[in-house]
């Protein structure tokens, strides 16, 4: 029986040339980042953690995959997102999975001005959620998890991460 390194099969060196400009929406994050995370509860409480977030080109350069984890977490606690560009629709299809925490989320992503918004596809009536990359520079960005319980009339910040590119 032949063994194949599937991670080597999905790895890519850069964006697919035909759509390189559009692919840089998430391609700009390729590399490794330090994360300062804050979870907010509705009563004003906060929980803090530090972590790492690593992004890489995959699938012939038509996708960007990441691995996100808290410092000290066991590998079974890691999460991953796969983001693939759909040139025909001009949108990204995004899937987040953190199996040990029973988190499985499907989103569509698109540039909206200076932000990249990923809208969670949900079956809950009235509940909306979006995951946003904002305040992006070559070496920093902020990620937000915003939730609405009234179909987008009002939003509250549930989770945020300030990310700084690792150097060296």
The yes-or-no verdict on residue 104 having pLDDT over 80 is yes
For the four alpha carbons of 94, 74, 60 and 134, in that order, the dihedral sign comes to: positive
Is 131:120 a contact under the CB 8 Å cutoff? yes
Whole-angstrom distance, CA of residue 164 vs CA of residue 123? 34
Residues in a beta bridge with 101: none
Q: Which two tokens stand for residue 58?
A: 């995959």
16-72 per-position pLDDT tens digit: 999 999 999 999 999 999 999 999 998 889 999 999 999 999 999 999 999 999 999
Q: How far apart are CA 98 and CA 121, in angstroms?
A: 17
Q: What is the pLDDT of residue 132?
A: 97
Q: Give 3's pLDDT tier (boundaries 50, 70, 90).
A: confident
pLDDT of residue 123: 66
What's this model's pTM, rounded to 2 decimal places? 0.93
pLDDT for position 23: 96
Query: In the CATH scheme, what architecture does the domain 6-165 have?
Result: Beta Barrel (2.40)
d(CA 129, CA 150): 11
Beta strands in the chain (DSSP E): 31-40, 46-58, 63-70, 79-86, 91-98, 103-112, 115-120, 128-134, 140-148, 156-165
> How does DSSP classify residue 151?
T
**96 pLDDT band (50/70/90 cuts)?**
very high
**Cα 146–chain centre separation:** 14
Which secondary structure element, helix H or strand E, spans residue 62, and what is its range? none
Question: In the structure encoding, which two tokens stand for residue 8, read together?
Answer: 């080597």
The pLDDT of residue 152 is above 70? yes
In this prediction, residues 91-109 reach a mean pLDDT of 94
What are 121-150's pLDDT values in tens digits? Answer: 876 677 899 999 999 999 999 999 999 988
Is a pLDDT exceeding 90 seen at residue 162?
yes
Per the DSSP assignment, residues forming a β-bridge with 146 are 130, 157
């Amino acid at each position: 029986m032949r063994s194949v390194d599937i991670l080597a099969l999905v790895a890519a060196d850069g964006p697919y040339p035909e759509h390189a400009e559009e692919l840089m929406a998430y391609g700009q994050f390729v590399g490794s980042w330090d994360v300062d995370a804050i979870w907010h509860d509705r009563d004003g409480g906060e929980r803090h953690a530090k972590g790492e977030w690593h992004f890489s080109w995959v699938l012939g350069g038509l996708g960007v995959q990441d691995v996100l984890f808290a410092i000290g977490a066991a590998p079974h606690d890691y999460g991953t997102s796969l983001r693939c560009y759909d040139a025909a629709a001009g949108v990204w299809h995004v899937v987040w999975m953190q199996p040990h925490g029973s988190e499985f989320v499907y989103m569509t992503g698109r540039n909206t001005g200076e932000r990249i918004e990923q809208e969670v596809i949900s079956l809950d009536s009235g509940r909306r959620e979006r995951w946003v990359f904002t305040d992006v520079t070559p070496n920093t960005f902020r990620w937000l998890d915003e939730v609405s319980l009234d179909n987008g009339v009002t939003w509250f910040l549930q989770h945020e991460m300030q990310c700084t590119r690792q150097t060296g």
